[in-house]
Amino acid sequence: MKKRNKNWIGAFLIVLVLAFVPLIVSAKKYSVGLSDQLWFSSADTSYDFFLYWKSQALLLLCGVLSLYAAVKMTVSKKDMMASVDNRYLIPLGVYFLMSLLSTVLSQHRRMAVWGGYEQWEGMLTLGAYVVILFFSCCLVLGQTEIRILMYGLLAGVFILSLLGARQFLGCDFFRTAAGKAAMNFMSDEKLNFTFNFAPGRVYATLYNPNYVGSYVALMLPVILSMISFRKRIDAVLRSLLAAATAVFLVMMLFGSESVTGFIGLGAVLALFTILMITNIKKHPKIFVSVAAVCILAVTGAVFYNRSIFEYGWNKIMHPTPNHFVVKSMVSRGGALEICTTEDDLLRLAVEVKDGVYTYKAEDEKGIPVEAVKDGEGKSVKFLDQRFEKIQIQETSVEAEGEEQDAFVVNTPSVGKSYTVAVGTSSYQNGLSQKIYRIYNPFKKLDRLREIPAAGFEDKMHFASRRGYIWSRTFPLLSKHLLLGSGPNTFVYEFPNDDYVGMKNVGYDGATVTKPHNMFMQIFVQTGLLSLLAFLALYGFYFTECMRLYWKRTEYGWMERFGAGLCLGTFGYLVTGLANDSTVAVAPLYWCLLGVGIAVNRRVAKEEDHFE
């Protein structure tokens, strides 16, 4: 029997993606490319520390991996695609093609190709995800490659989780001189930066505590699957390192305060119970004992970190109620239409002549609303009780190189105000109509348009203001049933000019670059068909996992690893309901999905994998 050539080099390159890329942290100064947008600051440069160099390293490794695979395929004269089932190749190809087509047809092609502001997940990066999944399937053919991946992954996760655990304990490496030197390693200028996160808050090397939740939900089941009760020295050492890593990952999760991460692990536990149902019946005492220990551990953790869990529970079940009076403002028909939270509409027309303001107000039925000036004549109140919480104060603003007449729509009862400039008249439908523009936080004047919204009207603060973001994202979906706006272009699609809505939820001056939902992110940026292909790809894998691992009564090392990969990737997708795809974590998911497909292929051969 001819001995199979082992893919040591290919396995090593895949390990670098899994273990090395997530650890990269270094500064990059870059041009944002958004300063021409009225809803963005005039500043055109920014710094990235956690994402840019990860994306560049990923592209480099994928290029080297592709070259290695091409050489190997030429020498061996074997078709690598033959080892991958068409069930996976077809949706993977559809996802790639739709992403590519969305990029080519995007109105913001540069960002769609290269990525950019706060994301760095352009078409090249999405293509790298596809490449790493494909070669993980093709090159991981035997036990040798799988063991290399296991040990390499364990080493990488151990290092990253150790950094996160130290942050949890208040010993943040990146706040030390060595850590700051590492963050300045790729920078031409030495930066003296500050940290937004309080000591004890875990962000690891992943940019955002939310992504720590996704990382832990993905990695913890995989790491736990490496624990063995065999007495062989290599199995013992691996198990001890895996157990320590698992503890560090749990510390990371608590330190990140990521509610999504806890939900993801809860979903993993539920799926694990389903997979083990036959073993639970066969060995009830063991599972009852383990369950009792887990329940005690979780209860103790919840009690010890009660404030974190109460905070998370309240964000979802008892979100902060809406605290504003003005729901929207639109310049239409020569008047400023002010809609209140009670859906009462005030149409306000303001004329300014020689510094003297005159007001005409009416409700949506055209019934006049009496406006009364104060003693100094600089403030106006409305006698109608529907609008009594709204006041108008006269002012002026400096914009577009000149001083402009303006007024402030003030709501003292909730402490919110909106500055509106009285523009010149323009002709619309043959009539001269006054135009009103809002004076935004960047000292620019922008139109007041109607912002489409759907859902969460009374729960804008749901799940840390995801209610607001989702309410503005839902209307975008109908635009992208076929094609998306292009990778990394959500920032252009989201109504960042919703100045009233953003101020009402505390986003005044912020820029929304992602929907906080991976599935809506894919839908908007690369289209519905690419989302369906993405889901189909995992659906085929998950179905295969259930066939192989559900009701299984014996698990060797490879079966445990395969089940762990299934649980981890499932947990990652669950966190995707409230987190986004990011180059800090997503490459690990795509790579482990490819490895999972390869492991399932080996397990399906019913070979002996028992230690």
DSSP for residue 19: I
- CB burial readout 303-339, b (16+ within 10 A) else e: eeeeebbeebeebeeebbebebbbbbbbbbebbbbbb
pLDDT value at 285 more than 60 = yes
Residue in 487, 457, 489 with CA at minimum distance from that of residue 472: 457
pLDDT band with cut points at 50, 70 and 90 for residue 309: confident
Task: Give the DSSP H/E element, type plus range, for residue 579.
Answer: none
d(CA 120, CA 492): 15
Rounded Cα distance between 89 and 274, Å, is 28
Q: What pLDDT score does 607 carry?
A: 54
CA 138 to chain centre: 29
**Is 88:523 a contact under the CB 8 Å cutoff?**
no
d(CA 489, CA 115): 8
Give the model's pLDDT for residue 610.
44
4, 69, 162 from 77: Cα distances, Å: 14, 11, 44
Alpha helices in 388-486 (DSSP H): 462-477
Q: What burial class does residue 516 get, using C-beta atoms within 10 Å of its C-beta: 0-12 exposed, 13-18 middle, 19+ buried?
A: buried
Q: What is the mean pLDDT of residues 251-271?
A: 93
The pairs formed by 340-343 with CB atoms below 8 angstroms and a separation of 24 or more are 340/386, 340/387, 340/389, 340/390, 342/386
SS3 588: helix
What was the pLDDT predicted at 429?
Answer: 59
Q: Determine whether 132 is exposed, middle or buried from the number of CB atoms within 10 Å of its CB (0-12, 13-18, 19+).
A: buried
- Which range, 187-191, 487-491, 557-561, is most confident? 487-491
Which residue has better confidence, 80 or 547? 547
pLDDT for res 5: 58
Question: Inter-axis angle of helices 528-549 and 557-575, to 10 degrees?
Answer: 150
More confident residue, 39 or 302: 39
pLDDT at 379: 87
Using CA atoms, how far apart are residues 114 and 178, in angstroms rounded to an integer?
A: 31
Helix H or strand E encompassing 396: strand 391-399
pLDDT value at position 229? 79
> Does the pLDDT value for residue 404 go beyond 50?
yes
Token pair of 508, please? 């005044």
Tokens of 98: 């739709």
CA–CA distance, 110 with 103 (Å, rounded to integer): 9
pLDDT digits (tens, 9 = 90+) for 570-604: 999 999 999 999 999 999 999 999 999 999 999 98
Q: Are 328 and 315 in contact (CB under 8 A)?
A: no
Contact 392, 407 (CB under 8 A): yes
pLDDT at 505: 95
329 pLDDT above the threshold of 90: yes
Between CA 313 and CA 324 the distance in angstroms is: 24
CA distance 484 to 470: 17
Measured CA to CA, the distance from residue 173 to residue 166 in angstroms comes to 7
Please give the biggest Cα pair distance in the chain: 101
The predicted structure's pLDDT at residue 611: 47
CA distance 139 to 515: 35
Task: Note the pLDDT tens digit of each residue in 213-253.
Answer: 999 999 999 999 999 878 888 889 999 999 999 999 999 99
For the entire predicted model, the pTM comes to 0.93
Written as six digits, the tokens of 551 are 């009701």
Spatial CA neighbour of 469 closest among 448, 486, 491: 491
Query: Quick one: which of 397, 392, 396, 370 has its CA closest to 379?
Result: 392
What is the rounded CA–CA span in Å between residue 498 and residue 39? 9
Please tell me which residue, 279 or 16, carries the higher pLDDT value. 16
Residue 404 · residue 421 · CB < 8 Å: yes
Question: Which pLDDT band holds residue 261 (cuts at 50, 70, 90)?
Answer: very high
- Give the separation between CA 138 and CA 267, rounded to whole angstroms: 30
CA distance 343 to 403: 34
Q: What percent of the chain has pLDDT over 90?
A: 73
Give the residue with greater pLDDT, 611 vs 224.
Answer: 224
Quick check: 153 pLDDT over 60?
Answer: yes
Euclidean distance between CA atoms 369 and 384, whole angstroms: 6
Q: What is the pLDDT of residues 461-486, one digit of tens each?
A: 999 999 999 999 999 999 998 899 99
Q: Hey, what are 581's tokens?
A: 């795809």
Instruction: Please say whether the dihedral angle defined by the alpha carbons of residues 12, 16, 18 and 19, taken in this order, is positive or negative.
Output: positive
d(CA 441, CA 434): 23
> Could you give the percent of the chain with pLDDT greater than 70?
95
Cβ count within 10 A of residue 133 = 25
CB 95 within 8 A of CB 537: yes
pLDDT in tens, 65-102: 999 988 888 887 776 666 778 899 999 999 999 999 99
| Cα–Cα distance, 203 to 210 (Å, whole number) | 8
Count of C-beta atoms within a 10 Å radius of residue 434:
18
pLDDT at 433: 79
CA distance 329 to 343: 12
DSSP-derived pairing of the beta strands 445-447 and 431-439: antiparallel
**What pLDDT score does 251 carry?**
93
Q: Which residue has the tokens 């909106």?
A: 418
The predicted structure's pLDDT at residue 40 = 95
With cut-offs at 50, 70 and 90, classify the pLDDT of residue 416.
very high
DSSP H or E segment with residue 534? helix 528-549
pLDDT band at 430 (very low <50, low <70, confident <90, very high): low
Helices (H) and strands (E) in the chain, counts: 20, 13
Given a contact cutoff of 8 angstroms between Cβ atoms, the answer to whether 549 and 564 are in contact is no
Compute CA distances 307 → 301, 372, 469, whole Å.
11, 49, 26
